Amino acid sequence: MSKHKFLCIIPCYNEEKNIEYIFKSILKNTSSIKDHEPNFCFVDDGSSDSSWSEIIKLHKNNNNVFGIKLSKNFGKEAAIDAGLNFEKEEYSFYIILDSDTQHPTSEISSMIKIYNNENLDIVNTHRIDESEGLIRETFSKLFYFLLSNFSEIKIISKTTDFMLINKKVRDEFIKINEINKTFRILINWMGFKKKSIPIKIGKRFSGKSKFNFFNLTRLALNTLYSFSIFPIKIVGYVGVFMTFISSLALIFAFINLFLDYTIITWQTIIILTLTFLSGLTMTSMGLLGIYVYKILLYTNKRPNYIIEKKL
């Protein structure tokens, strides 16, 4: 009986001490699934340490390990995209997980069983623990609230990149020519049959997280701008509000001319109105600039990543 081959795509950025550990951990936790054979694609996202050397070492000693080295640090989303576009042969499905060992490899066998038993296209995962700190958790909840209520994406809160997708989903994903793809959001946007299972994020085997608050904020804003016109709507709402307030102020000033209730000069009204309108104009220009910039990115058609080497 031939085994079903699946590919684990593992983006790496300065994870030299974690690469062999995550490889052995996946092998250990998939050994009980007798009719499935794991393959590995490590994507070195422009690491400055010995990550690529560790990938080469694994490749030489294991015929099911492959590697991609990007020419610079393009970011985790680009690394995942590169991994999904690169394959040595046909695979039944793909599992994407981080190289920092925080995604529990012990859940892989459960994901495969759910995928097979329930005839799914996607098996998502979402965090059930709050291990990221108060500030990060608060902004995470705010992000998913905005995404769920003010965009076309309906996604479970705290969804992670640790997921299983079948070949059909992978093939459709790589057809998308979008700049700055956001993997977990696009996969859920595609609308295939899916299920999300809860996981607990583990501790890193070595090193510190490379995904700081600034990177998370940039990713969140990029996702909102790509899938929602909510920022522009905010400007419209503010404009309506400011028009309403200005109208009330003008009506009050006009009535005050006859009642002489208090001293309000026309210069004061004009200055306040112009200040509000100037602020609104600057806000509008800033937001429109963001969207114009995204149009420029699509016009330039720069690749999401550049591959330097392959194994």
> Residue 11 and residue 78: Cα distance in Å, rounded?
9
Name the helix (H) or strand (E) containing 108: helix 108-117
Q: Residue 133 is encoded by which pair of tokens?
A: 């700190």
Q: Which residue has the tokens 């529990």?
A: 104
* Crossing angle (nearest 10°) for helices 134-149 and 213-227: 10
Strand partners, 65: 40
Residues 6+ apart with CB under 8 A from 246: 273, 276
133, with CB counted inside 10 A (0-12, 13-18, 19+), is exposed
Contact 148, 126 (CB under 8 A): no
CATH domain 4-211 topology: Spore Coat Polysaccharide Biosynthesis Protein SpsA; Chain A (3.90.550)
Would you state the pLDDT for residue 24?
92
Q: What is the pLDDT of residue 1?
A: 47
Q: Which amino acid is at 244?
A: F
The list of the chain residues with pLDDT below 70 reads 1-2, 129-157, 202-240, 242-243, 246-247, 250, 256-257, 260-266, 268-269, 271-272, 275-276, 278-280, 282-283, 285-287, 289-290, 293-294, 296-298, 300
**Full DSSP string of 117-182:** HTT-SEEEEEE-S--S-HHHHHHHHHHHHHHHHSSS----TTB-S-EEEEHHHHHHHHH---SS--
pLDDT for residue 190:
84
Q: If DSSP codes are grouped into helix, strand and coil, which group holds residue 70? A: strand
Give residue limits of the domains in the chain.
Answer: 4-211, 230-300
pTM of the full predicted structure? Answer: 0.70
- What strands, in cross-sheet order, belong to the sheet with 36-44? 194-199, 122-127, 163-166, 93-96, 4-12, 36-44, 65-70, 307-310
Comparing CA positions, the residue from 257, 233, 247 lying closest to residue 277 is 247
β pairing state of 307-310 and 122-127: unpaired
Q: What is the torsional sign of CA 216, 222, 228, 233?
A: positive
pLDDT tens-digit profile of 29-71?
988 887 888 999 999 999 999 999 999 999 999 999 999 999 9
pLDDT of residue 33: 83
